[in-house]
Amino acid sequence: MKKIYMDYAASTPVDEKVFEEMLPFLKTSYGNPSSIHSLGVEAFDAVEEARERVAKLIHAKDDEIIFTSGGTESDNFAIKGVAYKNKDKRGGKGYNIITSSIEHPAVLETCKHLESQGFKVRYLPVDKYGIVNPDDVKTAISKDTFLVTIMFANNEIGTIEPIEEIGKITKKNDVLFHTDAVQAISTIPIDVKGLNIDLLSISSHKIYGPKGCGALYARKGVKLQPLMHGGGHEGKLRSGTYNTPGIVGLGKACEIVKERISTDAKNLKSLRDSLIKNVLKIEESYLNGHPEKRLANNAHFRFSAIEGESLNLMLDDEGIAGATGSACSSKKLQASHVLIAIGLKPEEAHGSLRLSLGRQSTKEEISIVYEKISKIVEKLRYMSPLWNR
Ligand SMILES: *Cc1c(COP(=O)(O)O)cnc(C)c1O
């Protein structure tokens, strides 16, 4: 059975060209980039070339890129790194950090941890599409605020946030602005200077690079407290021997994104729209997230009287990889915080399915997936006591 992968938002395959560039750094150019012999210099040069490629993609300077172990570390570093530098701002009446209620757990759990350390965090609500109101950001800022962290685009429902407006507000109020751009970077051109972004998180494995590697852009002048102490790599900000193959892979992945971002976005959007158009033909099916302000590769559906987990498992039996809107937390099946934040009832949230597309997606896959979903939904509803037709 031919497999159909529609979970690119969870991870992507490594691009062939990325893989080829990485190989020598696993096999022959294995020197430590910090060593002074020629094998070390070879690796050092490759790391610096990768840095340049990452910087170019977001219009940053090379020395504003810090390599990390992925999106999670970049988010942790940006938020804790800034918070620990502003410890003396704790204890006031106002919020120290402003974020949204639909962030990735890497941001939300970091903020929760900081609350336990005495920082005050405001989790802004979102509208029914998952959009943060920039006026809410403005209102929440006080003299105690040092950081606003709002994601560029949501990983579950694909909603794109008003980053430009928020950037104007943070700049005017002299507050740092961090954005988790992990999902956005491969289809939305980003100019960090033009958007007044001070800190931005990138993950390699979401953009056809290897897992376990990422980057944090930190504008020159932004002060961060290191989380990793050791040999003093990355200007003493992030110690640890360079993951040369990973970094080289991330650099190449960024270079490829820069080359094909507009064609990728255009193709994905057209595939996405045909997927959405087809699936919404199913009785009592709905689109979660914004119809237009959404990632080019994201489709997120909700079906009445359907259990998303069952739908997803039955799709898997047919060789189709999707994702449910809800994440299994501990032993209890907990409804997704994102779907609850946009106002869905837990049972509606549980009836959701995310299909995310990528470079290998085709028109044929879209029609197969639509056919299978409509059959499975019909079958599940036939057995469901909630579906009384
Ligand atoms: C995947 C993801 C992360 C985590 O990145 P890792 O590299 O897997 O740690 C963070 N934020 C968003 C929005 C993501 O989609």
Q: What is the pLDDT of residue 387?
A: 87
- Over range 54-59, report the average pLDDT: 98
Counting from 1 in the atom list of ligand 1, the atom nearest the Cα of 154 is: 13
Q: What share of the chain is helix, strand, coil (3-state, %, to 5)?
A: 40, 15, 45
- Over range 128-145, report the average pLDDT: 98
Strands ordered across the beta sheet of 147-149: 65-68, 214-218, 199-203, 176-180, 147-149, 97-100, 121-124
| Catalytic entry in 111, 213, 254, 328 | 328
Q: Are residues 311 and 366 in the same domain?
A: yes
Q: Are residues 107 and 248 in the same domain?
A: yes
Counting from 1 in the atom list of ligand 1, the atom nearest the Cα of 204 is: 7
Q: Are residues 228 and 318 in the same domain?
A: no
Number of domains in the chain: 2
- Best probe residue, ligand 1, of 77, 155, 300 (max atoms within 8 Å of C-beta): 155
- Residue 271's domain comprises 4-11+261-383
Q: What is the pLDDT of residues 249-285, one digit of tens each?
A: 999 999 999 999 999 999 999 999 999 999 999 999 9
- Considering only CA atoms, which residue is closest to atom 15 of ligand 1? 155
Look at the alpha carbons of 95, 98, 102, 108 in this order and tell me if their dihedral is positive or negative.
negative
Q: Is the CB of 206 under 6 A from ligand 1?
A: yes
Q: Are residues 52 and 100 in the same domain?
A: yes
- Over range 354-372, report the average pLDDT: 97
In 14-150, which residue ranges form alpha helices assigned H by DSSP?
Answer: 16-22, 24-27, 38-58, 71-85, 105-116, 134-140
- Over range 14-26, report the average pLDDT: 98
Q: Is residue 389 part of a domain?
A: no
The rounded mean pLDDT for the chain is: 96
Q: What is the pLDDT of residues 151-210, one digit of tens each?
A: 999 999 999 999 999 999 999 999 999 999 999 999 999 999 999 999 999 999 999 999
Q: What is the pLDDT of residue 2?
A: 86
Q: Is the pLDDT of residue 332 over 70?
A: no
Q: Is the CB of 298 under 6 A from ligand 1?
A: no
Percent of the chain scored above 70 by pLDDT?
98
Q: Is the pLDDT of residue 221 over 90?
A: yes
Q: Are residues 241 and 291 in the same domain?
A: no
Given pLDDT bands bounded at 50, 70 and 90, which one contains residue 330? very low
Q: Is the pLDDT of residue 17 over 80?
A: yes
Q: What is the pLDDT of residue 329?
A: 44
Return the higher-pLDDT residue of 331 and 177. Answer: 177
Length of the chain measured in residues: 389
Looking up tokens 């709002």 gives: 150
Q: Are residues 97 and 23 in the same domain?
A: yes
Q: What is the pLDDT of residues 239-250, one digit of tens each?
A: 999 999 999 999
The residues near 311 (Cβ < 8 Å, ≥ 6 apart) are: 303, 324, 353, 373, 376, 377, 380
Q: Are residues 273 and 209 in the same domain?
A: no
Q: Is the pLDDT of residue 102 over 80?
A: yes
Give the pTM: 0.97
- Best probe residue, ligand 1, of 14, 159, 187, 206 (max atoms within 8 Å of C-beta): 206
Q: Is the CB of 183 under 6 A from ligand 1?
A: yes
Q: Are residues 22 and 121 in the same domain?
A: yes
Q: What is the pLDDT of residue 389?
A: 66
Q: Are residues 68 and 204 in the same domain?
A: yes
Q: Are residues 240 and 203 in the same domain?
A: yes
Determine the distance from the C-alpha atom of residue 128 to the mean position of all C-alpha atoms in its chain, rounded to a whole number. Answer: 20
